[in-house]
């Protein structure tokens, strides 16, 4: 894109070879996607084992990991609100404090966030058929990869999308919280449709932003900063993927 070439030339002008920038960018993006993939694996493992245990408890079967009492507390008592909003607290905490953390600490917090997110969405294994979850996950993966690739390669400057998508995100969060009490199926359907579009847009926007942020700072050679930047980039893309997956699941998933 034009912005990409401008940054490349600017960095080359301060003594950074363009081929080094390109190689560094590929390594940086690989690290972002690698961190995201590990986080997705952690989330999936936690969600599967906790969720299938909950499904066994509902069916009156013997649970493998947690006792029935623990599962009832997690899903039926006020503890469920803590589990529901804990990932949001992790996101705000990591975003606000990452500059004070070491790169290793930030990565551990990211893994912990992924585990808590898995706990938060584990209920899907008690509500949806496993084959449906697998199918929607596969479809989301293809959709996410295609959009992220477009965001990385497009010549179009997506920076102007930021404020519009952020307002859409705030609206989705607000209406979703409101609908916890309203329990409106029509409102939930509209939120999921709009949400898929918003998070698809954010996937392209965040991918391009991760790329451009690296290019702006490539000549600094700050390994610690670049490592933390990769973690925050992985967090952004991870959240986009999870939200798209959950909304597509609620739109097209077959409930048991």
In the chain, what's the furthest Cα-to-Cα distance?
69
Closest CA to 232 of 215, 201, 209: 209
Q: Please answer whether residues 134 and 44 qualify as being in contact, where contact means their C-beta atoms are separated by less than 8 angstroms.
A: no
Q: How far apart are CA 15 and CA 190, in angstroms?
A: 51
pLDDT digits (tens, 9 = 90+) for 56-109: 887 777 776 776 777 776 777 777 778 877 888 888 888 888 888 888 899 999
* pTM for the model: 0.85
Chain-centre distance for alpha carbon 10: 32
| Closest C-alpha to 161, from 203, 130, 190 | 203
Query: Model confidence over 193-233: pLDDT tens digits?
Result: 999 999 999 999 999 999 988 887 776 666 777 888 899 99
């Amino acid at each position: 894109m034009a912005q990409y070439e401008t940054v490349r030339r600017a960095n080359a002008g301060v003594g950074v070879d363009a081929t080094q920038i390109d190689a560094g960018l590929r390594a940086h993006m690989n690290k972002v996607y690698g961190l995201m993939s590990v986080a997705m694996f952690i989330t999936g493992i936690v969600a599967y084992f906790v969720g299938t245990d909950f499904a066994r408890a509902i069916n009156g079967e013997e649970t493998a990991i947690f006792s029935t009492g623990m599962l009832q507390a997690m899903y039926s008592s006020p503890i469920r609100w803590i589990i529901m909003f804990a990932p949001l607290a992790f996101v705000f905490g990591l975003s606000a404090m990452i500059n004070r953390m070491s790169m290793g600490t930030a990565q551990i917090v990211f893994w912990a966030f992924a585990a808590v997110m898995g706990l938060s969405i584990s209920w899907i294994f008690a509500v949806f058929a496993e084959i449906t979850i697998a199918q929607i996950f596969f479809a989301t993966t293809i959709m996410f990869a295609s959009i992220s690739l477009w965001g990385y390669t497009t010549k179009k400057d997506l920076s102007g999308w930021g404020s519009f998508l952020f307002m859409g995100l705030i609206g989705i969060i607000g209406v979703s919280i409101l609908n916890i009490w309203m329990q409106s199926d029509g409102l939930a359907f509209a939120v999921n449709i709009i949400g898929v579009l918003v998070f698809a847009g954010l996937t392209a926007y965040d991918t391009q932003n991760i790329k451009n942020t690296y290019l702006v700072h490539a000549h600094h050679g700050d390994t610690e900063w670049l490592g933390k930047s990769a973690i925050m980039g992985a967090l952004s893309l991870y959240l986009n993927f999870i939200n798209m997956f959950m909304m597509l699941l609620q739109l097209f998933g077959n409930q048991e």
